[in-house]
């Protein structure tokens, strides 16, 4: 059973997010094939890389998201479809028959590994599936003290509007969420509510999704990567390559398997 509604997900997250799509595609073009994406979702970053002529394997645990990716690929030309291989699987424990020049985990997918053991197991799987000198790339949010404070005390569990988007079938999708932080365990738990309203304002469909993710600080990320055997670790503050400097920056991470 899928926790995601792929149609509503695609409406809210249709393209590049702060330049992430272009960043991952540029890395893939520089690294060359084959590429492995973990947590491929509905193919938001997979399909543009395949369109660039690069062979990419897409690993995804959620059956509904994987089915949506397969549907989206069916709408692509044959020269794009032939570059993508769909793999049902868990990023915490996968064993594939080949190695890769680049493994990427976009859109904070790595944070679904909520324990330190899961995080380290995932990174070691990545190391084992990279060729010598191969690149691991991922991004996670930096925990913002301002946002945490807005979800504490009397404000804990309050529902907040989180954005809206046009639905492909018409009308609008409204996203709202209620979020709680467990600071001793570095966990975020949330309920996400996606509501599709038609042009007349009538509710067409509502989907409630549970979310539990870890959150990590730069020192946590670096220590995990080093323990997993990676070197040449770089942590930027955005997809434009700016240094990490602000509480709310995105942590954009690269690391290499030793040659």
Return the DSSP state at 109: G
Q: Are residues 187 and 241 in the same domain?
A: no
- pLDDT value of residue 1: 44
Strand partners, 86: 58
pLDDT tens by residue, 152-207: 988 888 999 999 999 999 999 999 999 999 999 999 999 999 999 999 999 999 99
What is the average pLDDT across 50-70? 97
Do 113 and 67 share a structural domain? yes
Q: Is residue 170 part of a domain?
A: yes
| pLDDT of the residue at 156 | 87
Structural domain includes residue 120: yes
Tally the domains of the chain. 2
CATH number of the structural domain spanning residue 54: 3.40.50.150
**Pair 236, 149 in one domain:** no
Same domain, 64 and 185: no
Q: Are 116 and 225 in contact, with CB atoms under 8 Å apart?
A: no
Same domain, 101 and 121: yes
Q: Say what the pLDDT of residue 215 is.
A: 98
Can you give the CATH number for the domain in which 189 is found? 2.20.25
Looking at the structure, do residues 62 and 171 belong to the same domain, yes or no? no
Give per-residue pLDDT as tens, 206-254: 999 999 999 999 999 999 999 999 999 999 999 999 999 999 899 999 9
Is residue 1 one of the residues assigned to a domain? no
Q: Does residue 92 share a domain with residue 20?
A: yes
Q: Are 39 and 165 found together in one domain?
A: no
Between the alpha carbon of residue 104 and those of residues 9, 14, 17, 24, 240, the distances in Å are 20, 19, 15, 8, 17
Look at residue 46 in the predicted model and tell me its pLDDT: 98
Say if residue 109 is in the same domain as residue 197. Answer: no
Q: Are residues 50 and 170 in the same domain?
A: no
Cα–Cα distance between 73 and 220 in angstroms, integer? 36
| pLDDT value of position 249 | 96
Q: What is the mean pLDDT of the chain?
A: 96
2 falls in which pLDDT band (50, 70, 90)? low
> What is the span of the domain harbouring residue 247?
6-143+216-256
Instruction: Say yes or no: 11 and 119 in one domain.
Output: yes
Give yes or no for a cis peptide into 253 (omega within 30° of 0): no
pLDDT tens, position by position, 103-151: 999 999 999 999 999 999 999 999 999 999 999 999 999 999 999 999 9
Choose among 136, 116, 117, 111: nearest CA to 126.
136
| pLDDT (0 to 100) of residue 79 | 97
Same domain, 19 and 84: yes
DSSP code of residue 55: -
- Beta partners for 139? 252
């Amino acid at each position: 059973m899928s926790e995601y509604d792929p149609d509503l997900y695609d409406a809210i997250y249709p393209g590049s997010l702060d330049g992430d799509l272009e960043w991952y595609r540029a890395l893939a073009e520089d690294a060359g094939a084959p590429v492995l994406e973990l947590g491929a979702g509905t193919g938001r970053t997979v399909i543009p890389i395949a369109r660039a002529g690069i062979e990419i394997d897409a690993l995804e645990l959620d059956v509904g998201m994987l089915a949506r990716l397969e549907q989206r690929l069916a709408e692509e030309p044959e020269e794009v479809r032939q570059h993508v291989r769909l793999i049902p699987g868990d990023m915490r424990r996968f064993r594939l028959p080949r190695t890769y020049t680049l493994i990427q985990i976009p859109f904070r997918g790595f944070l679904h590994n909520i324990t330190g053991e899961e995080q380290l197991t995932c990174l070691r799987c990545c190391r084992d599936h990279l060729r010598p000198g191969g690149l691991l790339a991922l991004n996670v949010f930096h925990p913002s003290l301002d946002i945490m404070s807005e979800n504490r005390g009397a404000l804990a569990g309050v529902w907040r509007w989180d954005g809206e988007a046009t639905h492909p079938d018409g009308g609008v999708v409204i996203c709202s969420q209620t979020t709680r932080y467990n600071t001793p365990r570095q966990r975020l738990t949330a309920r996400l509510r996606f509501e599709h309203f038609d042009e007349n304002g009538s509710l067409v469909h509502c989907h409630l999704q549970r979310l539990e993710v870890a959150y990590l600080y730069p020192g946590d990320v670096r220590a995990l990567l080093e323990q997993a055997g990676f070197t040449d670790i770089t942590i930027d503050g955005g997809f434009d390559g700016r240094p990490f400097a602000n509480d709310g920056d995105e942590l954009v991470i690269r690391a290499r398997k030793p040659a």
